[in-house]
Amino acid sequence: MAINVIQSVKLEDNLNTLVLLDQTVLPGKTEFLDLTTQEEIWEAIFELKVRGAPAIGIAAAYGVYLAAKSSAAENVDEFYQDFKKAKDYLATSRPTAVNLFWALDRMERRLKEETERNKDVEALKNALLEEAHAIRDEDEEVCKTIGEHALTLLKPEMGILTHCNAGTIATAKYGTALAPIYLGTEQDYNFKVYADETRPLLQGARLTAWELEQAGVDVTLICDNMASIVMKEGKVQAVLVGCDRVAQNGDTANKIGTSGVAILAKHYNIPFYVCAPLSTIDLNCKNGDDIEIENRGAEEVTAKWYSERMAPEEVNVYNPAFDVTDHSLITAIITEKGIAYPDYQDSLKKLFD
Ligand SMILES: CSC[C@H]1O[C@H](OP(=O)(O)O)[C@H](O)[C@@H]1O
């Protein structure tokens, strides 16, 4: 049964509009945003209207293309200045997911390579469009391959816990941590998925539960503080999570709460797998201490998710959007190039050979 998954980031056929699935109104509403300017795309990334490391990279690639396309520059130097201004601006939208910077840097490399060959501004614009499409198309293939590698570690009927949303809407298609769930469902693995709601923004409750329900997967929503009991009761045989940045020693930044899940998995002797496209592995980061953790606004914690306020208006709030799971807690890091096991200092580097 082929899974029918929604596309969360798409450049419209007119090539002037980036169409984004607005992830802040799911699951109640399925709405799409038509964005044309770098400012609109910056805001969509910052406000998590488009979210998930790979999806952020794809949106930024199309965003910098659209900005460059609107440039009135008549020579390559002016055009490059316009491109660089947009690239540097989009790079300020969120700090943790390395895919944002990986995608923007890749777009700049393509522009420089193309400029070596061609000084025609229109041709350079077309080269940027080509590269943005390639980033998106490759991500779909990468996610599917991650799913195939991950599936070799799983068995039919397994209970799987996941945290946040590393699903199809966080990528070009399939997702990373949810890719094996989708592929397994197509092969009747009949997984039982436990989705952490993932406070404060509830990506698990609002997005993962929604995605998997749509795909006919057996998904059970739990509060974050229930992860221990489902593990203790033997309901979970594996944990699968995504990532936003993996350091060269395997320390992994992912949605806040992930490190707690990893500690629980270690305690209950349950394998903890990180699903990581190579585009999310940052060998420039020695370890987790080198990863900038985004801090977000108080209202995300105190906001009205119900009819009444969640907490006193003026209460002090600490709202780190991510945390770092120590490499010692990670059983394996599953990539499109294969599965990396400790010692990650060596195994991750080998994936790039
Ligand atoms: C394949 S998505 C990876 C990662 O991105 C999410 O963060 P956010 O929702 O803030 O963009 C989450 O950490 C996912 O695991």
pLDDT digits (tens, 9 = 90+) for 258-317: 999 999 999 999 999 999 999 999 999 999 999 999 999 999 998 876 666 676 677 777
Joined together, the tokens standing for residue 308 give 């009444």
pLDDT digits (tens, 9 = 90+) for 157-199: 999 999 999 999 999 999 999 999 999 999 999 999 999 999 9
- Tell me, using a 6 A CB cutoff, whether residue 259 lines ligand 1: no
Q: What is the mean pLDDT of the chain?
A: 95
Q: Spot the catalytic one: 244, 251, 282, 323.
A: 244
Q: H/E/C letters for each residue in 183-215?
A: HHHHCCCCCEEEEECCCCCCHHHHHHHHHHHHC
* DSSP state at residue 320: B
Residue 3 in any domain: the answer is no
Helix, strand, or coil (residue 313): coil
Helix, strand, or coil (residue 218): strand
Residue 94 has pLDDT above 60, yes or no: yes
Residues 217 and 325 in one domain: yes
For the CA of 277, the nearest atom of ligand 1: 1
- Tell me, using a 6 A CB cutoff, whether residue 63 lines ligand 1: no
Tell me, in angstroms, the distance from the centre of ligand 1 to residue 73's CA.
36
Residues 83 and 130 in one domain: yes
The residue contributing the CA closest to ligand 1 atom 1 is: 166
Domain count across the chain: 2
Residues 76 and 150 in one domain: no
Residues 101 and 187 in one domain: no
Residue 5 has pLDDT above 90, yes or no: no
For the CA of 97, the nearest atom of ligand 1: 5
Residues 171 and 117 in one domain: no
Residues 32 and 169 in one domain: no
- Tell me, using a 6 A CB cutoff, whether residue 52 lines ligand 1: yes
Tell me, in angstroms, the distance from the centre of ligand 1 to residue 349's CA.
23
Is 137 an active-site residue? no
Of 79-88, 127-136, 211-220, the range with the lowest mean pLDDT is 211-220
Of 4-13, 27-36, 336-345, the range with the lowest mean pLDDT is 4-13
Tell me, in angstroms, the distance from the centre of ligand 1 to residue 123's CA.
34
Tell me, in angstroms, the distance from the centre of ligand 1 to residue 286's CA.
21
Residues 47 and 32 in one domain: yes
Kindly give, in sequence order, each residue whose CB lies less than 8 Å from that of residue 119, ignoring residues fewer than 6 positions away.
75, 76
Determine the Cα–Cα distance for residues 215 and 191; give it in Å rounded to an integer.
Answer: 12
Residue 3 has pLDDT above 70, yes or no: no
For the CA of 253, the nearest atom of ligand 1: 13
Assess: ipTM above 0.90: yes
Tell me, in angstroms, the distance from the centre of ligand 1 to residue 337's CA.
21
Overall average pLDDT of the 141-162 stretch: 98
Pocket mutation for ligand 1, best pick of 23, 165, 295 (most atoms within 8 Å of C-beta): 165
With beta carbons less than 8 A apart as the criterion, state whether 245 and 61 touch.
no
**pLDDT for 233:** 95
CATH of the domain at 139: 1.20.120.420
Domain membership of residue 137 as a residue range? 9-143
Helix axes 53-69, 76-90, angle to 10 degrees: 150
Residue 47 in any domain: the answer is yes
Pocket mutation for ligand 1, best pick of 22, 51, 139, 168 (most atoms within 8 Å of C-beta): 51
Helix, strand, or coil (residue 297): coil
**pLDDT for 338:** 98
- Tell me, using a 6 A CB cutoff, whether residue 258 lines ligand 1: no
The residue contributing the CA closest to ligand 1 atom 15 is: 242
Give the residue numbers of the binding site for substrate: 51-53, 94, 203, 254-255
Helix, strand, or coil (residue 350): helix
Last residue of a domain, one of 143, 170, 199: 143
Overall average pLDDT of the 109-137 stretch: 97
Residues 119 and 183 in one domain: no
Band (1; pLDDT cuts 50, 70, 90) = very low
Residue 32 has pLDDT above 80, yes or no: yes
Residues 244 and 343 in one domain: yes
Last residue of a domain, one of 143, 178, 199: 143
